[in-house]
Amino acid sequence: MVHLALFSLFAILCVAGAINLLAQKHPIASALSLIVVMGSLAAEYMLLGAEFVAVIQVIIYAGAIMVLFVFVIMLLNAGEEERTRGSRIAIIFGIPGLLVGMGLIAWVLVRHNVASGLVKAGALPGTPPRIARLLFRNFLLPFEVTSVLILIAIMGAVVLARRERG
Amino acid sequence: MFVLISFIKIVIVLAVLLTIVAYTVLLERKLVGHIQNRWGPTRVGPFGLLQPLADGLKLILKEDLTPPYVHRGLYLLAPILSLALALTSIAVIPFGNWITVAGKRIPLQITDVNVALLIVLGITSIGVYGVALAGWSSNSKYSLLGSLRAGAQMVSYEVALGLSLVGVLIVSGTFSLRGIVERQLGGFWHWNIFGGGYQFVAFFIYLMAAYAETNRTPFDLPEAETELVAGYHTEYSAMKFAMFFMSEYANMVTVACLASVLFLGGWGGPVFGPPVLQALLPVFWFLLRVFLFLCLYIWVRGTLPRFRYDQLMAFSWKFLLPLAIANTMITSLVVALRH
């Protein structure tokens, strides 16, 4: 009962944060709303029994990536955004697309009769050893390839950021 | 029942933590005073022991000023965020063994999660926002410069801090702080810093990164008063300033707790006497370690001058980080070869 209440609370918070992100005029307020979204997503993961994923979500997204966002906004001293009417294509195709997508997800869930219930924390295979076993045994090659990809991205950033001497 | 026990534990731990925070300030003033051949506060109460209460009263009664042209919401949010996050991470720290009250075994820890260490790191990584938002929302150049420095410093040293803990995790094989302590019980040669894991290099890195994370001398560039007035909290006064102050000291206490748990054997120590003493002695040993660690903190503050900013960044990225990576690799190699 408490579990369900908390889950709904964070779900509402998450959606509210996402809407606020679009509605706010100031970039900093938008960035902070995004942090709220990330944080409540982490809480949802926690309630679904995936503590490790929840904490990693906080450390990586809320703690690292969003800090970078906030810093860039602060350093650029970005002012208030001007509100435009929005593109018409987004309204014509976006809203029906969203409805179709949500309908599809709902249909699949109902069709396959996915067990909708609550789990106890730690009941699912989300503990660090299990994840490590998956990463370093079953998915070792994709994992290593991804890390090489990230390394390339870092080197690319260094090369691009380096000033030309001359 | 579980909720009630948890609630009681939370109240007790928070009360003790806030008292420790208040008295750490006094300890610092006293110790730094003696280092500089002064007495420190002596007037309020015997040996100045009531000084923290007087300070608290003063800060509450001061006028709560909000300067014009600040971003009001964020200006108010920043100190609250700082203090709340600083007080939260104590929730996963085990400060003693199990005790038995009315037939129920209760762990001396608010909650034992199997990713406890990661939770502390996660909370620390969010703590940057308090500082960053304070600087930005104050709309003052000193605050902004201070918060940018603080942010960059905390983000950089977090990497070294996180990596220094990996060695401990590898030898312990668990993220649970209680599990890490239980592996080190039975004499000081089982501590992770000594024979338990030979993690003395990791401890050194942790120590350096911890000073930087909590913005303490010799890494207190974010509030270097000779250049930045007071850094990110320049525009804050009264209780809002006190909240930043308290969060800094609460962070110090957390760092000290974490050092005791991860490297120095947690609550391990000789236990004897009647049952009550047996239950409370581990807590005493734990608090003793925390106290000594805090003294070390203050000793360093009273002894070392401040770094230059570029030296600070270079120290983290060019020295601590490679050292931490080397320590991780060597530790994992040794553990792998032993298996």
- pLDDT band at A165, cuts 50/70/90? low
Q: Is residue A94 part of a domain?
A: no
What average pLDDT does range B145-159 have in this prediction? 83
More confident residue, B194 or A21: A21
* Residue A2 per-residue DSSP state: H
Per-residue model confidence as pLDDT tens digits over B48-94: 788 888 888 888 888 888 888 877 888 888 888 888 988 888 888 88
Cβ–Cβ of B144/A56 closer than 8 Å? Answer: no
What's the pLDDT at A145? 93
Range scoring the smallest mean pLDDT among A85-89, A96-100, B231-235? A85-89
Residue A108: phi and psi, rounded to 5, are -60, -45
Cβ–Cβ of B125/A75 closer than 8 Å? Answer: no
Rank A19-28, A149-158, B19-28, B32-41 by mean pLDDT and report only the highest. A149-158
Among residues B336, B175, B121, which one has the least CA distance to residue A127? B175
What's the pLDDT at A150? 92
A74 and A131 together in one domain = no
A72 and A148 together in one domain = no
Cβ–Cβ of B175/A128 closer than 8 Å? Answer: yes
What's the pLDDT at A75? 78
Residue A46, pLDDT > 60, answer yes
Q: What is the spatial distance between Cα B148 and Cα B154, in angstroms, rounded to a whole number?
A: 10
Nearest chain B residue to A42 by CA: give it.
B122
Chain B residues with CB under 8 Å of A67 CB are 125, 128-129, 132, 151, 155
CA angle at A157 for the pair A154 and A162, rounded to the nearest 5°? 130
Chain B residues with CB under 8 Å of A3 CB are none
What average pLDDT does range A138-158 have in this prediction? 91
Amino acid at the residue B32 = V
What's the pLDDT at A123? 61
Give me the CATH number covering residue A3.
1.20.120.1200
Say if CB B152 and CB B222 are below 8 A apart.
no
Which residues share a beta bridge with B104?
B101
- Residue ranges with strand state E in A79-140: none
Residue B170, pLDDT > 80, answer yes
Cβ–Cβ of A52/B144 closer than 8 Å? Answer: no
More confident residue, B205 or B1: B205
Q: What is the spatial distance between Cα B192 and Cα B117, in angstroms, rounded to a whole number?
A: 15
Q: Is residue A149 part of a domain?
A: yes
Domain with B243 in it:
2-338
Q: What is the spatial distance between Cα B279 and Cα B273, in angstroms, rounded to a whole number?
A: 10
Say if CB B272 and CB B263 are below 8 A apart.
no
Residue A151, pLDDT > 60, answer yes
Cβ–Cβ of B125/A67 closer than 8 Å? Answer: yes
Per-residue model confidence as pLDDT tens digits over A106-124: 888 777 766 655 555 556 6
Which residues in chain B (229-258) have CB-CB distances under 8 A to chain A?
none
Cβ–Cβ of A58/B132 closer than 8 Å? Answer: no
ipTM score for this prediction: 0.75
Residue B129 at interface with chain A, using a CB cutoff of 8 Å: yes
Q: Is residue A27 part of a domain?
A: yes
Residue B130 at interface with chain A, using a CB cutoff of 8 Å: no
Q: What is the spatial distance between Cα A7 and Cα A27, in angstroms, rounded to a whole number?
A: 28
Q: What is the spatial distance between Cα B140 and Cα B180, in angstroms, rounded to a whole number?
A: 45
Per-residue model confidence as pLDDT tens digits over A84-96: 766 777 778 888 8
More confident residue, B6 or B228: B6
A7 and A75 together in one domain = yes
The residue out of A81, A116, A147 marking a domain boundary is A81
What's the pLDDT at B186? 75
* Burial readout B11-32 (b: 16 or more C-beta within 10 A, e: otherwise): eebeeebbebbbbbbbbbbbbb
Q: How many percent of chain B have pLDDT more than 70?
A: 97
Which residues in chain B (15-74) have CB-CB distances under 8 A to chain A?
71, 74
Per-residue model confidence as pLDDT tens digits over B95-135: 877 777 767 777 777 777 777 888 888 888 888 888 888 88
Q: Is residue A110 part of a domain?
A: no
**Domain tally, chain A:** 2
The residue out of A81, A108, A140 marking a domain boundary is A81
Residue B1, pLDDT > 60, answer yes
Chain B residues with CB under 8 Å of A128 CB are 114-115, 175
Domain with A143 in it:
127-166
Per-residue model confidence as pLDDT tens digits over B7-55: 888 888 888 888 888 888 888 888 888 888 888 788 887 887 888 888 8
A65 and A3 together in one domain = yes
* Residue A63 per-residue DSSP state: I
Residue B270, pLDDT > 60, answer yes
Q: Is residue A109 part of a domain?
A: no
**Domain tally, chain B:** 1
Residue B115 at interface with chain A, using a CB cutoff of 8 Å: yes
- Closest approach of chain B CAs to the CA of A53, in angstroms? 10
Among residues B154, B116, B117, B157, which one has the least CA distance to residue B134? B154
Cβ–Cβ of A55/B119 closer than 8 Å? Answer: yes
Say if CB B262 and CB B165 are below 8 A apart.
yes
A72 and A133 together in one domain = no
Residues of A with CB under 8 A from a CB of B: 28, 32, 35, 39, 51-52, 55-56, 58-59, 62-64, 67, 70-71, 74-75, 122, 127-128
Query: If 0-12 CB within 10 Å is exposed, 13-18 middle and 19+ buried, where does residue B125 land?
Result: buried
What average pLDDT does range B284-292 have in this prediction? 88
- pLDDT band at A146, cuts 50/70/90? very high
Q: What is the spatial distance between Cα B278 and Cα B282, in angstroms, rounded to a whole number?
A: 7
Nearest chain A residue to B117 by CA: give it.
A55
Of A55, A70, A122, Cβ closest to residue B132:
A70
